Amino acid sequence: MKKRIILRFKRNTIDKPIVYKLVKDFDLVFNILRANISPREDSMMVMEIEGAEEDFMKGLEYLKSLNIDTEPIEQDINRNELKCVHCGLCTSVCAPEALHLDRETMKVLFDYENCVACELCVKVCPVKAMNVFFD
Ligand code: SF4
Ligand code: SF4
């Protein structure tokens, strides 16, 4: 199975070799899609994790035991390229800058990999170009 999850962790868990443990002890393959790590504040990381279901569940248990919140990203955000008029409204609500303006072309680009599926862009888009799909 392959899933995207958001990890939210407190300041004091940051120095633990979390990712190393997930790979070595639980045989999980991961890809960090987005990380916002700060030594002074709570941090977040969006990861795509792949592995056998049993290993995946054990990995999540391990994270829980460290007091790390895990939240699966069950939905996917998609942009209808035919509808988007590149007005730029969505870029102001997209915290991870998955939607951002290319100043050369003045087009709004969508980097799917950075999207954390917060759905804020879906609400603000005047032409309903941003859509949510559930797994
Ligand atoms: S708000 Fe909608 S139309 Fe405007 S740039 Fe974003 S996706 Fe495109
Ligand atoms: S769902 Fe959230 S993170 Fe993803 S593109 Fe829209 S505003 Fe950005």
Q: In CATH, what number is assigned to the domain containing residue 115?
A: 3.30.70.20
pLDDT recorded at residue 24: 86
Our separate counts of H helices and E strands in the chain read: 3, 8
Atom of ligand 2 minimally distant from the CA of 114: 3
81 alpha carbon – ligand 1 mean position (Å): 9
- Indicate whether 114 pLDDT > 90: no
Cα torsion 122, 50, 5, 16 to 10°: value is: -150
Do 33 and 86 belong to one domain? no
11 lies in the same domain as 65: yes
Q: How many domains are contained in the chain?
A: 2
* In a shared domain, residues 11 and 48: yes
Closest C-alpha to 106, from 129, 78, 84: 84
Instruction: Say whether both 89 and 51 belong to one domain.
Output: no
Q: Of 67-71, 78-82, 126-130, where does the model show the most confidence?
A: 126-130
How far does CA 77 lie from the centroid of its chain? 11
59 with 101, same domain: the answer is no
Mean pLDDT calculated for residue range 113-126: 90
Q: In ligand 1, which atom is closest to the CA atom of 86?
A: 5
pLDDT, greater one: 19 or 27: 27
Domain range for 110? 76-134
| pTM (2 d.p.) | 0.58
Percent of the chain past pLDDT 70, that is, above it, reads: 93
Closest ligand 1 atom to the C-alpha of 99?
Answer: 6
Q: How far apart (Å, rounded) are the C-alpha atoms in residues 46 and 118?
A: 12
Write the single-letter amino acid at 3. Answer: K
Rounded average pLDDT over 41-62: 86
Same domain, 52 and 26: yes
Give distance in angstroms: CA of 103 to centre of ligand 1. Answer: 15
**49 with 66, same domain?**
yes
Which residues touch 43 (CB under 8 Å, ≥6 apart)?
8, 9, 11, 14, 35, 36, 37
Rounded to the nearest angstrom, the distance between the alpha carbon of 32 and the centre of ligand 1 is: 26
Share of the chain above pLDDT 90, in %: 36
Tell me, yes or no, whether 7 and 68 share the same domain. Answer: yes
Residues 22 and 63 in one domain: yes
Bridge partner residues of 134 (DSSP): 75
Residue 118 and residue 68 in one domain: no
8 Å CB contact between 51 and 28: yes
